[in-house]
Chain A
Amino acid sequence: AAGVIQSPRHLIKEKRETATLKCYPIPRHDTVYWYQQGPGQDPQFLISFYEKMQSDKGSIPDRFSAQQFSDYHSELNMSSLELGDSALYFCASSSPFGLAGVADTQYFGPGTRLTVL
Chain B
Amino acid sequence: TQLLEQSPQFLSIQEGENLTVYCNSSSVFSSLQWYRQEPGEGPVLLVTVVTGGEVKKLKRLTFQFGDARKDSSLHITAAQPGDTGLYLCAGYSGGSNYKLTFGKGTLLTVNP
A→B interface (CB under 8 Å):
4, 6, 31, 33, 35, 41-45, 48, 50, 55-56, 58, 88, 90, 92, 98-99, 102-111, 113
Contact = CB atoms under 8 A, between A and B. Distances in A.
B100 A106 contact: yes
Contacts of B101: 45
A100 B81 CA distance: 30
A111 B104 CA distance: 18
B48 A108 contact: no
Contact of B48 (A33, A44, A105, A111): A105
A90 B42 contact: yes
5 contacts: A43-B88, A92-B100, A99-B48, A102-B31, A102-B48
B29 to A, nearest CB: 11
Contacts of B48: 98-99, 102, 105
B112 interface: no
Contacts of A48: 98-99
Contacts of B98: 31, 33, 48, 50, 55-56, 104
- Shortest 3 CB-CB contacts between residues of A and residues of B: A108-B42, A45-B99, A42-B102
Contacts of A56: 96-99
Contacts of B97: 56
B54 to A, nearest CB: 11
B33 interface: yes
What's the interface size class on B, roughly? Answer: 20 to 34
B36 to A, nearest CB: 11
A58 B43 contact: no
Contact of B31 (A35, A104, A110): A104
B66 interface: no
Contacts of B33: 105-106
Interface in B45-60: 45, 48, 50
Contacts of B105: 42
B41 A42 contact: no
A104 B90 CA distance: 12
Contacts of B42: 4, 6, 90, 108-111
